[in-house]
Amino acid sequence: MKAVIQRVTSASVAVADQIVGQIGPGIVVLLGVEKGDAEAQADWLVDKICGLRIFSDVDGKMNLALQDVGGSLLLISQFTLAGNCVKGKRPSFDTAASADEGKRLYDYFVTVAKRSGLPVETGIFQADMQVSLVNDGPVTFILER
């Protein structure tokens, strides 16, 4: 399971020109599910993301977590994170989970994130989404488990 996380001042996701998820300050999570992934990876990633100290304290140091700053999560499924671009010019998606398994684990990830008590917004699985965000910093991390 792979996640690209970005600290944002605001973000939204639209489907067919309709906003389906929107947050103010917080973290955008682009989540890719691969073959062999399980609930344990989702549990670890949610815990890591919610507790990761990537927000500035009064001294300007990254020392505060999402809950410390009253931030929100915007969770978006991102199939292309499973893409392998090493060979040729066309990405291979051989390691991507099936659509059914990807949806099951994405939905599980969303459920676990909502249990954190933080405000959670989402995109729509397998939809053609347009993501808008203002990356704060910019601060971006790649997490794999």
Q: Name the active-site residue from 41, 55, 79, 122.
A: 79
Which three-class secondary structure state does DSSP give residue 140?
strand
| Residue 100 near residue 123 (C-beta atoms within 8 A) | no
Q: Name the active-site residue from 9, 67, 80, 130.
A: 80
Q: Name the active-site residue from 6, 41, 55, 78.
A: 78
Encoded tokens for 63: 């020392």
Residue 140 a catalytic site member: no
Alpha-carbon distances, residue 31 vs 4, 34, 89, 107 (angstroms): 7, 10, 23, 11
Residue 80 a catalytic site member: yes
Residue 122 a catalytic site member: no
Instruction: Supply the residues annotated as catalytic.
Output: 78-80
